[in-house]
Chains A and B, each alone.
Chain A
Amino acid sequence: MQEFGLTLVVLALGIIMSVYGYYDAAAGRPNTFLNFDNLIDGIATPMSYYAIMAVGLTIVIITGGIDISAGSIMALSALGTAAALQLFPSTAPAWQVLPVAVVVALGIGLLCGTINGGLIVGLNLHPFIVTLGTMSIFRGLANVLPPEKTLPSAGKRLPAAFTTEFMRVEVWGIQPMPLIIMLLCVALGWVYLRMMVVGRETYAVGGNEEAARFSGLPVAWIKLRTYAIAGLAAGLAGLVSVGRFGTASTSTGTGYELTVIAAAVVGGASLLGGRGTALGALLGTLVIALIENGIIVMRFAQEYRLIIIGMAIIVAVSFDRLSVYLSARRGNQRA
């Protein structure tokens, strides 16, 4: 099973780095990899945006589609949330601030995702082309709409009820909120795909769109809602990001789409459609996050980061190909 293999990869990476961290640490100092600060702040928190978006994207990929506009949607959502929240005094109470933040961030994400889906379904265009366009448009809007390059504006601060007391809240010395939201998303994604009728419809459309249509499934609506969900996930990622950093900028989320696609694909989502899981999305992101963290912990030059990530993607996809090839050999041209 795909998730099983990924778990092994995660464990292997973890063990290698723990061993390295053990010998790397100066006498009497904690393991440089295996310590709470690194595991939470160095891995879990930064990966949370990716994982949240990877779950959304995995659902898209299962239908045989793709969405490369996630990073731009995330920026719009983060900026919109910051713009809305800076209207509040920095001491505004949580019951005022949090609902506004959630509604604005998720609203923007949902809207952008629906636009993607509407264009793809309504104009019957290839999702790559559409989201390539909207990636640029949304990023452009993120550049044009805010009055400044960074929000909140100079001299202002976002309400503490959203930042230090919510997204950055400390429990036992760590900040678990992004991690919790990420796990919640994965759980929701898992329930959606595994246990709900909508999830089944998603796999059916991705597996054979025509057969799904011939079975009476509302294919257009199924696809539309898939992109809306991916947008929603990107909006949520924006919310997490602005809460954690206390700011959003026009360049928030730039280039994230590629990491997110990589995470989904490493997690076993097949670009041909029909295959992928929410847990895979999480594990795929974790693999990438571990590699990224390993580069830091093992003090490789940052320049190698891109090369190593790139190789990880290709290795993952070739495994995918290999498994397809092997099952094709076993099943002959039935596939």
Chain B
Amino acid sequence: MTDFIQFRSITKTFGGVTALRGVSLSIGRGECHGLMGENGAGKSTLGKVLAGIHKPSEGDVVIDGTPHIFSSPREALSAGVAMVHQELAFCPDLSVAENLCMGHYPRRFGLLIDREAMADRARTLLNAIGVNLDVWQPMRDLSTAQEQLVQIAAAVGTNPRIIVFDEPTSSLAEPDVHNLFRLIDDLRQRGITTIYVSHRMPELFRLCDKISVLRDGQYVGTLGKDEMTHDAVVRLMIGRSVEEYFPHHLAGSPGDTVLRVRNLTSPGLFRDISFDIRAGEIIGFAGLVGAGRSEVAKALFGLDPRVTGTVEVNGQPLQLQSIQASMRAGIGLVPEDRKRQGAVLGMPCRANISMAVLDRVNRAGFLNDAKEKQIAANFFDQLHVKASSLEAPVNSLSGGNQQKIVLAKWLARGGRLLIVDEPTRGVDVGAKAAIHALIDGLAWKGIAVMLISSELPEVINLSTRVIVMRDGHIAGELARAQATQEAILRLMAGVEMAS
């Protein structure tokens, strides 16, 4: 077998932090090569070295026999490398079409932008991956999932020889994931080499010919198709095995009703939503992206001025008018979009974690530094955050570690009802188990949890009950015993698929 791509002892340092340490790795032509490792292991960094975003401190990459040290994405692109990034980067005020054609706008008379041609091109790119979108809407209005799809379309559209997918499915829903898999199969048939970074093992097992594992910036090994097992991968990743977490809270009996929602309606988003959550329960919300789950969550958190219906928390009516009112009632929300709504990226981890508990570290107007540090350090520990220190700005952390910071902020606050929207997006297996344990621990302590997740195994494993939403209404509710993958999927897709 020919080694199409060869990383030769790549080292990459950021200031004092060493992200990659002499990584050597070979990838065959036309292969789909998985890349795994804990959060902060260096997967994204390795991808970015290949895509020309980071120039390696040492080492080079041989592609098809030619050694390269790319110092810009443009160079990498001209060598046929494209990358779908984990942290999405677009111009939010430009339209989908403009974003997709950026850099090579179709011209008319050499000067004017040919809007029709641009729209056509954008549609072609999107159709190539099976997506239908209004190409003139501004990027800002897209959901995270749609943004992700546009990213993928943009990368595939450059006609590359090599594509790096960095956690492409972390914000996609089932059907889109299927489309993506078909696309990758198709790419492979066309001889295009793909590098696929993910924390979701079933995906990797399904797609990849080989899986390589990084640990602490070092290459630890590669598994062939026949050696790929959950255990083997985890062992390479963290040096020990991690059991699937079995929730504790199921042993306790649920307490009083904490949240009572009746006929919650918001025009155009969702309608007639009624459900209860009792103390100690974890209610999983499943549904396609756009089914209205996050919208319900935001409304409960006081973010939807047009919402109608009644909500009671611990028997007290709650006016859904402001975040402050909801928080006073004891509701917390871990938002789905960590970059926009979750973290203040330029601020240190410590300051981000304490953001929702500033009242508790407030001593006569002054910040109680010691207490703040202690809270932050505590969650750094529990969630295994990998960062150079508590003072590291959040944007210097890897994606999964950023997610942990956002989660820590709300775990620190506690309360009566915690709504978590995609709590483990982009988080590695070990940390995922830790987060599951923490959420479970909250429920065990009597906190009601509303869990929104696109990862069915997560919903199924953690939830006491599962509520499935479709097109803005509740399509059905399943007790834990009935909440199988098929049952949920059937409700998610509606009657069309039930037959």
Contacts and interface: CB of A to CB of B under 8 A. Distances in A.
A112 B324 CA distance: 28
Nearest to B89: A333
Q: Which of B354, B361, B395 has the most CB of A within 10 A?
A: B395
A334 B396 contact: yes
Contacts of A200: 351, 354, 358, 367
Contacts of B102: none
Contacts of B344: 203-204, 207-208, 211-212, 274
A208 B346 CA distance: 8
B333 interface: yes
Contact of A210 (B301, B341, B355, B361): B341
A331 interface: yes
Interface string B250-280: 0000000000000000000000000000000
A101 B296 CA distance: 55
B25 interface: no
Contacts of A331: 14, 395-396
Interface string B84-111: 0101010000000000000000000000
B144 to A, nearest CB: 14
Contacts of B434: none
Interface in B328-383: 333, 335, 340-347, 351, 354-356, 358, 361-362, 365-367
Contact of B355 (A195, A217, A275): A217
A200 B54 CA distance: 33
Interface string B446-459: 00000000000000
Contact of A332 (B48, B341, B343, B345): B48
A334 B351 contact: no
Interface string A216-235: 11100000000000000000
A64 to B, nearest CB: 11
Given A207-B344, A208-B345, A215 B355 contact: yes
Contact of B345 (A195, A203, A207, A216): A207
Interface in A172-213: 195-201, 203-204, 207-208, 210-213
A287 to B, nearest CB: 24
A211 B351 contact: no
A203 B351 contact: yes
A214 B294 CA distance: 14
A207 B347 contact: yes
Q: Which of A201, A218, A330, A331 has the most CB of B within 10 A?
A: A331
A275 B351 CA distance: 14
A197 to B, nearest CB: 5
B342 A211 contact: yes
A307 interface: no
A26 interface: no
A191 B343 CA distance: 25
A216 B327 contact: yes
A332 B85 CA distance: 11
Interface residues of A, number: 28
B324 A216 contact: yes
A306 interface: no
B323 interface: yes
A1 interface: no
Contacts of B362: 197
A33 B345 CA distance: 44
Contacts of B305: none
B53 interface: yes
B202 interface: no
B352 to A, nearest CB: 8
Contacts of B395: 331, 334-335
A275 B48 CA distance: 28
B239 interface: no
Contact of A216 (B354, B356, B396): B356
B341 A335 contact: no
B346 A335 contact: yes
B409 interface: yes
B337 to A, nearest CB: 9
Contact of A274 (B347, B358, B366): B347
A153 to B, nearest CB: 43
B361 A204 contact: no
Nearest to B347: A207
B48 A196 contact: no
A333 B54 CA distance: 11
Interface in B74-89: 85, 87, 89
A217 B323 CA distance: 9
B92 to A, nearest CB: 12
A217 B395 CA distance: 21
Nearest to B344: A207
A218 B347 CA distance: 18
B355 A204 contact: yes
A197 B365 contact: yes
Contact of B358 (A195, A201, A333): A201
Give 4 closest A-B pairs by Cβ, nearest first.
A207-B344, A333-B89, A334-B395, A215-B355
Given A331-B14, A334-B345, 11 more contacts: A197-B358, A198-B365, A200-B358, A203-B344, A207-B345, A208-B340, A208-B344, A208-B345, A214-B333, A333-B53, A333-B87
Interface of A: 195-201, 203-204, 207-208, 210-218, 274-275, 330-335
12 contacts: A197-B361, A197-B367, A200-B354, A203-B347, A204-B355, A208-B340, A213-B323, A214-B333, A214-B342, A215-B409, A334-B345, A335-B345
